[in-house]
Chain A
Amino acid sequence: MEIWVVVLGVLMVVGAIAVLFQRSLRNSIITFGIISLMSALIMAMMKAYDVAITEASIGAVLTTAIFFWSLKRVEEDGYDEKK
């Protein structure tokens, strides 16, 4: 139990660094959502259920959706990832 929290924490740090080194911004956004899910899992394991529910609904779902929409908007304005 306790060791799983540590493992998940280390995985979160690795994921946060992996966000920076992704090839495309879409992959970065998905990785970001996965980090949010892992942090929600950690909070549930540490019995902070209020924070876990908030993190799962806002951090994992809404933030990801808003990032995707803003990326779409920016691409409509002529931003190209490959440049």
Chain B
Amino acid sequence: MKRNNRLIINLFALVVVLLFGFISILAVTDGRSGLTMFSADLQHRVSYAFLLKSVSHPERASNATVEPGGRDYEDGAANVVTSVVVDYRMLDTFGEVLVLFAAAAGVGLLMTERKRVVEHDASIVVKTAVPLVMLFAIITGAYIVLHGHLTPGGGFPGGAIIASGFILQFLAFRESPKRLIFKILESLAGLGILAVGLVGLFVKGSLFANFIATGTLGATISAGTVLIIYLLIGIKVAAELASISGDFIGGEQRIGG
């Protein structure tokens, strides 16, 4: 009976895979089906207006040219994705940050402190290599956070890379991380993001408006509030993920050596 069930499920999976492959091949090859991949008419998309970086001024969008070295664009981030995520659609990103905060709070609530016996310590190779790798992870993460408005990346992946450095350290040295520092940092960064949004509300009239001059396109310090917000998001995500991993690892009691 059980074997029969498995066979049916496997056959169903096979049919689903074949169907998916058929549709994918159709979508790539047949241009008239309306399911074309890799070719889209940009002129009729909202993203075209975003690419020209002038959404709230439609009269400027038609003949706007954006080039490196230009000054005082509506949003000075060279990375279009960042200018959408952190400037035009910042409220969505703020909701994302809140979701992550809720997840971290839930983990902290459910994962109670627990003493655990560690029988096997990490080997000398791991203990020697991990500080080096952690250093590189933190430097890479900081680079990705700080260049979020210029190159692909930003606060979320950069913060995750920094947190992975801390996680490596927790795993290699089996020490209970100082979680209070992470939680204080996280709260301060979250309040900072809200403060930037409220200042935008009072200065320019809309929540998370870009109220600082955007400067030269492509410079490291440019894009106004985008740089500040991504820095705060990077700190918040790194602290949050490190404290989540600390909650999971819990207090470990060393016995073996």
Contacts and interface: CB of A to CB of B under 8 A. Distances in A.
A21 B10 CA distance: 9
B17 A50 contact: no
Given A57-B160, A62-B163, A17 B28 contact: no
Nearest to B156: A54
B241 A50 contact: no
A10 B24 contact: yes
B161 interface: yes
A10 B17 contact: yes
Interface in A37-83: 49-50, 52-54, 56-58, 61-62, 65-66, 69-70, 73, 76
A63 to B, nearest CB: 10
A13 B156 contact: no
Q: How large is the interface on A (under 10, 10 to 19, 20 to 34, 35 or more residues)?
A: 20 to 34
A9 B160 contact: no
Nearest to A69: B248
Contacts of A49: 152-153
B163 to A, nearest CB: 7
A22 B248 CA distance: 25
Contact of B20 (A9, A69, A70): A9
Interface string A3-17: 101100110011001
Interface string B61-93: 000000000000000000101100000000000
Contacts of A54: 156-157, 160
B153 A65 contact: no
B217 interface: no
Nearest to B13: A17
A17 B17 contact: yes
A62 B241 contact: yes
Given A58-B156, A73-B248, A53 B144 contact: yes
B191 interface: no
Contacts of B154: 50
Interface of A: 2-3, 5-6, 9-10, 13-14, 17, 21, 49-50, 52-54, 56-58, 61-62, 65-66, 69-70, 73, 76
Instruction: Across the A-B interface, give the 8 residue pairs with the lowest CB-CB distance, nearest first.
Output: A49-B152, A69-B248, A57-B160, A53-B157, A54-B157, A17-B13, A6-B24, A50-B152
